[in-house]
Amino acid sequence: MAANSFSAPAQAVKGAAKTLAHRRQAVVGLLFALIVILVLHTTVVFGPSRSTNDIVVLQSTSGEQNARTSSPPALLAPNNSIQDNGQKDGAAKNDGERRDQLGQTVKNDANDKMKEDLIGQELDGDVKHGAPGKPICDLSDPRYDICEITGDARAMGANRTVLYVPPADERGTDGPEWAIKDQSRKNLGDIKEVNVKTLSAAQSLVAPECTSRHAVPAVLFAMNGIIGNPWHDLSDVLIPLFITTRAYDGEVQFLVTELQPWFVDKYRLVLTNLSRYDIIDFNKDAGVRCYPHIIVGLRSHGDLDIDPARTPRNYTLLDFRLYIRDVFSLPPEGQGIPYKEANKKNAASNDNGTVTENPKPRLLLINRGESRKFVNLPEVSSAVQAAGFELLVMEPSRDMGMEEFARAVDSCDVLMGVHGAALTNFFFLRTNAVLLQVVGLGLEREALHYYGNQAKAVMVQHIQYFISAEESTLYEKYGKDHPAVSDPDSVHKQGWQGAKRYFWAEQDIRLNITRFAPTLHQLIRTLRE
């Protein structure tokens, strides 16, 4: 009984303890729930408000930077003044009204004040800038200067200026500026300069408005200098233009200073193949043209030459010859020289029982109209025909159509002439055809440097005939003891003007037919091999 009397209260105590424990758990759970609710309430009430403010600021900063850098035309010019194919830049809306996440309209009147503040800071020297960009102009080459801009490039023909508006983080307090000659020969004295300038931070904000936008790159170059004969036309303009622009496959526009209508007409096939877009007369262009990429100047590797190691796709001078022939729709590479092609046809005809006359190799004789001409042209012509050639005599002129002349050169096995610009037409010869160069007094080194090396590089055979002193009219005019006759090197050492006078301007050729005949016979043998 005693045991039972003690067990009943103990059980009651245990029950009360359990009840108390449950109540404590409930209180703790309630407190925890209150804390969770309070945290959630704080996050809901305060968190989104701060987050929304942060996003609005980032959008504002991003939008304003965007309007000044990645989409400058939309900021700087009204939509109706820009040729943009109807596309409107969203960044332009940041100049008007902007809506926050709550749908409330916020006026963006701070843009002008921000410009004023930035200009003021720049003047005070208290503005922070990112790392400076690399120079966009390279003046290190002894032959040419070149500027290349990628990004926001603006060309203004009225004042011969190209501007670069750098990204915001690359703008500095100063804007470097260059004045370069946009021709492939920067040492020529009569070439006007083009100004190329990187805008500073302050200048970028007030850059000239774009009047037209273009999706393709542009190349700005001069169409003057000493052009006017085939050698300089190719060496100073067309080959540098090929080097600079061929890799674009026509997707590039030409901005031309000192545009020469005769040059455009003469080489239209080449120019329109290198660029599918209208040629812009930059001197007369009153707008502000905006491009994603602009090159100012032309790259040049030497006299009538191409260095494949310095071209984007390892182009060679042979590539240029094949390209020129293709542009003028001449027979493709692999077709033999006309003489051998005619022999093949003749052999086929004979096999069919048709007797035909044996074909003759064809020689195109260049007759120069002024200096370095053949004064005994009829005798020279007769000697060529007597040696077994079919003869074609032509006197090229600046106004002669290139298509006609290119076809004439292609139809011949030999191009013959006295050292001079007209021999540049060897580019229209077929592979293994022959350039026969008659070399006047004092022109031995020049003959090889300006034509001989290049002919070999494009797989055209080169044969030289060096005249004797008696075959030069300098001998008749000045006598055998004059330095120009007896010691041409001494004249060269006195400078270009003396050499030009005697060897280029005053010298004509009276070919000694007897002395020249073995060269013609050697030429026949070469063609038959």
Ranges of H-type helices in 174-260 = 201-205, 230-232, 239-245
Could you give the strand order of the β-sheet that contains 461-466, starting from the edge strand earlier in sequence? 390-394, 362-366, 414-418, 434-439, 461-466
For 162, 364, 437, the CA distances from 408, given in Å and listed in that order, are 43, 8, 18
pLDDT average, residue stretch 427-438:
98
Give the global pTM: 0.75
* Tokens 């067990």, residue located: 7
- Residue 73: pLDDT band (50, 70, 90) is very low
Whether residue 519 is predicted with pLDDT greater than 50 in this model: the reply is: yes
Mean pLDDT calculated for residue range 221-248: 96
**Helices then strands (H, E): number in the chain?**
19, 17
Phi, psi of 152 (to 5 degrees): -90, 95
What average pLDDT does the structure give for the chain? 81
For residue 51, give every residue at least 6 positions away whose Cβ sits within 8 Å of its Cβ, in sequence order, or none: none
Q: Cβ(228)–Cβ(262) under 8 Å? A: no
* Distances in whole angstroms, Cα of residue 37 to Cα of each of 3, 30, 34, 44, 496: 51, 10, 5, 10, 96
What is the C-alpha to C-alpha distance for residues 337 and 241, in angstroms, rounded to an integer?
A: 29
- Mean pLDDT across the stretch 396-422? 92
What average pLDDT does this structure show over 224-244?
A: 95
Distance of CA 323 to the CA centre of its chain: 16
At 352 the pLDDT is 66
Domain annotation for the chain: domains and CATH numbers? 137-315 (no CATH), 338-472+508-528 (3.40.50.280)
36 vs 295: which has the higher pLDDT:
295
- The amino acid sitting at 516 is F
Going by pLDDT thresholds of 50, 70 and 90, the confidence category of residue 347 is confident
Cβ–Cβ < 8 Å for 142, 128 = no
Nearest CA to 424 out of 523, 333, 317 is that of: 317
Assigned token pair, 452:
């001989």
Amino acid letter at 268?
R
Lookup: tokens for 197:
């300038």
With cut-offs at 50, 70 and 90, classify the pLDDT of residue 520.
very high
Predicted pLDDT of residue 54:
30
Return the amino acid letter for 37: I
Residue 261 backbone phi and psi in degrees, to 5: -55, -40
Q: Which residues pair with 177 in a beta bridge?
A: 197
Tokens at residue 462, please? 């080169």
